[in-house]
Amino acid sequence: MKTKLFVALMLMTGTAMGQKLLTLEDVMWSGNNYYNLAPENKFTAWWGNTPLETTPDGVKNLVTGESLVTVERLNEIAGEKIVRSGHYITFPYGKQTIAQVQNGEKRIQIDWAAGEVVWSQPIPRGAANQDFNQTSKHLAYTIEGNLYVTTAEGKTLEVSKDGSTDGSADIVYGQSVHRDEFGITKGTFWSPDGQRLAFYRMDQSMVAGYPQVDISQRIASVTMDKYPMAGETSHQVKVGIFDVATQKVTWLQLAGAPDDYHTNLSWAPDGKRLYVFELNRDQNDMRLVAYDAETGAKCNQLLQERHEKYVEPLHGLEFLPWDASKAIMQSQSDGYNHLYLLDVTTGQCEQLTAGQWVVQDFLGFNTKSKSLLYLGNESDPRRSCIYCLNLKTRRTTLLGADDGVHAAKLSEDGTMLIDNYSSPTVPRSVNLISTQPTRGRRPNLVSNILTASDPWQDKGYKIPEITSGSIKAADGVTDLYYRMVKPVDFDPAKKYPTVVYVYGGPHAHNVDARWRWSMRGWEAYMATKGYLLFILDNRGSEWRGREFEQVTFRHLGEEEMKDQLEGVKFLKSLPYVDAGRMGVHGWSYGGFMTTNLMCSYPDVFKVGVAGGPVIDWKYYEVMYGERYMDTPEQNPEGYERCSLLGKAKNLKGRLQIIFGYNDPTCVPQHTLSFLRACEDAGTQPDLFTYPGDGHNMFGRDQIHLHERITRYFDDYLK
């Protein structure tokens, strides 16, 4: 439907029209944008069912452009400069002229029509992990290891008052647990009415500390960071429910082992039950259990899912707004992540979507048409498109373009959404879309809000040619997708030094149908310096289904490398790739892959740069590590084979390892153990570190890092 627009844009790309060469400063991203060269964007929000555009000065109607309220006006009413930008205002009540804002000291609601502050609540100094319930207006937060609630009336209640509230790292309340695995991102969960707060309590007193040294002090100091390594003693998590009215804590009567995982806490709409996805430490036996919120007693087990490799619950229940007995659930039990309709009274589970593709995200409901919205990659594994599934008709409708990678924000009743997407040839497009059933032409597009032009072209930069395609995996059957970035001023008669950029681990991908196939800024920069870049999502990566992912089970790295070698084979078949000058670069799992490739295929890759690598999975943490590798005790042969310590002796080419000196994720022991192994074996890797940085570098360090990575390839590959 929007084909014409795409064609028009496509004609403008693919060739280098400008003359300016990119600099690292031009392309270094914060987040995942191209910094100075990011396409224009719109910042949007919903006020009930009214779409808004937020700007630094205020908020206006997204379609009409009519001003709703200005920052200046809100500050005038507040009598202080509490609002710094329109981007930070929320409109919690769709039918009231109420703006909600906050600063470090308080959260307030301003009625801009009445011209008065209608509600205010203090925020204690140092309050972290703030979780505000819009219905009750109670605020949960943590200070150090403790958990508190400040009520709508401003009264502060201490939740963690069982005698262990010493603020130490040993016992932690109300924070994310299990190292953010299993979809866990936070530690507090308000009941829908905001009168009960479910929360995590994590006892990690029995977990070994990893020494992190802070050299920025007058005399370097150390912090022991609780880090449970694979096979070692792990932390123990309990779930409590705090009743604001009675100020009493009720603990869920969890069965199972103390180091089981309790994930994706979900409240029943009436707040009477709490649903928990429970998983054994071995991660192969998952149960969905309902608990009585009043007593903490187990009500019933709704579901059980087992798998010989592993089961990984990642999403909670999403109850139908019109039927409290049914909830949407996600599972990849049929081999692909799909949506299911679970009857929580009977435990019956009905599959809603199916096929050899995955649901990437559940977006919400259209309560009018009784539909649900999701992102899926049915039309192409690289895409993420918006679909509407009508639960009455069971008809699925594509909303918006059948290309690209979309993000959607639903209005209050879900009858409209704002779609913000890009595709390989569309830098960005923002559209207002109706989610209502229709049979008309271009039925769902209400309004095209923005079609961004190509800022690189606008500013006269040379743009490399970027393509995507597929090759067969090492299994000879599976399609793998790649992105190729050709050097600027590409001459097919020349031979170019080629760098493979790799990640390769689970829950991630590098190639998708975003603008320019998601080319990273650094790849463009390298292309301006005369390199060819190649990026292949091997088996083990995300959005391709369970079998594709789990082929790596108990021997991480091996299948992934085989697939990358297929990529190399493909590259070598291209006349313009210089097979004698192949490099590889990756970070984290990609650092593991890079180091592994350099040591496993020393005659293929001449130069590698590995960032924050895993070297031996026994130094990685319990949750992620044991899911894919089991424990060192269960799988000694796999740990041995997949360790890079034994491969250190094979290193022939130039390999630089770079790590954050205070990396809490891939702790420095990985890199340092590899160095020691190389030193003992007489091989010579190179090294760099960023003191004070963690697993990744940001800001100025990010640019410094990429200057460094580039220089290494310039030194040894060019």
Binding a second copy by CB under 8 A: which of 224, 255, 257, 354?
224
Please tell me which residue in 695, 701, 704, 714 is annotated as part of the active site: 695
Q: By CB under 8 A, is residue 206 in contact with a second copy?
A: no
Nearest to 230 by CA among 560, 517, 626, 644: 626
Tokens 């091997």 sit on residue: 538
Q: Please give the C-alpha separations between residue 312 and each of 232, 264, 289, 304, 365, in angstroms, as whole numbers.
A: 21, 11, 15, 12, 25
Q: Give 101-109 contacts, CB < 8 A, sequence gap 24+.
A: 101/74, 106/82, 107/132, 107/139, 108/78, 108/82
219 near a second copy, judged by CB under 8 A: yes
From start to end of 355-415, where are the E strands?
359-366, 371-376, 385-390, 396-399, 405-410
Give just the sign of the alpha carbon dihedral 605, 610, 616, 618: negative
The answer to whether the CB of 566 falls within 8 A of the CB of 484 is: no
Report the C-alpha gap between 33 and 524 in whole angstroms: 13
Pick the closer one to a second copy by CB: 496 or 712. 712
Check if 695 is active-site. Answer: yes
Smallest distance, a second copy to C-beta of residue 578, A:
21
Phi/psi for 348 (5° steps) reads: -70, 145
**Which of 81, 306, 649, 711: binder of a second copy (CB under 8 A)?**
711
Chosen residue from 667, 706, 713, 717 binding a second copy by CB under 8 A: 667
Provide the 8-state DSSP code for 462: -
Question: Could you tell me the smallest distance in angstroms from the CB atom of residue 457 to a second copy?
Answer: 29
Q: Which of 625, 673, 713, 717 binds a second copy (CB under 8 A)?
A: 673
- State yes or no: residue 232 binds a second copy (CB under 8 A): yes
Place of tokens 């009508």: 390
Binding to a second copy by residue 392, rule CB under 8 A?
no
Distance CA 440, CA 397 (A): 13
Sole binder of a second copy in the list 20, 368, 395, 676 (CB under 8 A): 676
Stretch that binds a second copy, among 60-68, 224-232, 361-369, 446-454 (CB under 8 A): 224-232
User: Using CB atoms within 10 A of its CB, is residue 8 exposed (0-12), middle (13-18) or buried (19+)?
Assistant: exposed
Closest approach of a second copy to the CB of residue 8, in Å: 41
Calculate the CA 543 to chain-centre distance.
13
Of the pair 256, 602, the CB lying nearest a second copy is at 602
Name which of residues 623 to 662 contact a second copy (CB under 8 A): 661
Q: Is 216 in the site for a second copy (CB under 8 A)?
A: yes
Q: Does 255 bind a second copy (CB under 8 A)?
A: no
Binding residue for a second copy, selected from 43, 119, 362, 688, defined by CB under 8 A: 688
Q: Which stretch, 81-89, 398-406, 435-443, 666-674, contacts a second copy (CB under 8 A)? A: 666-674
CA 647 to chain centre: 32
* Nearer to a second copy (CB atom), residue 8 or residue 224: 224
Binds a second copy by CB under 8 A, chosen from 42, 448, 672, 714? 672
* Helix H or strand E segment including 711: helix 699-716
User: Residue 150 Cβ, how far from a second copy at the closest point, in Å?
Assistant: 38
Given candidates 83, 110, 140, 229, which one binds a second copy under the rule CB under 8 A? 229
Q: In the window 127-166, what residues touch a second copy (CB under 8 A)?
A: none
Choose which of 7, 21, 680, 718 interacts with a second copy (CB under 8 A): 680
Region from 246-254, 352-360, 476-484, 670-678 binding a second copy, contact rule CB under 8 A? 670-678
Give CA torsion, residues 3, 8, 14, 20, to 10 deg. -140
For a second copy, the binding residue among 58, 187, 240, 668 (CB under 8 A) is: 668
Nearest by Cα to 595 from 605, 616, 610: 610
Nearest to 686 by CA among 708, 705, 666, 658: 658
CB of 389 to a second copy, least distance (A): 48
In whole angstroms, what is the distance from residue 108 CA to residue 98 CA? Answer: 10
Running DSSP on this structure, what letter comes out for residue 619?
Answer: G
Q: Which of 152, 158, 675, 694 binds a second copy (CB under 8 A)?
A: 675
Q: Verify whether residue 663 is a known catalytic residue.
A: yes
**Of 430 and 667, which CB lies nearer to a second copy in the complex structure?**
667
Q: Which residues bind a second copy (CB under 8 A)?
A: 208, 210-211, 213, 215-216, 218-222, 224, 227, 229, 232, 618, 661, 667-669, 672-673, 675-676, 679-680, 682, 684, 686-692, 700-701, 703-704, 707-708, 711, 715
| Residues belonging to the active site | 588, 663, 695
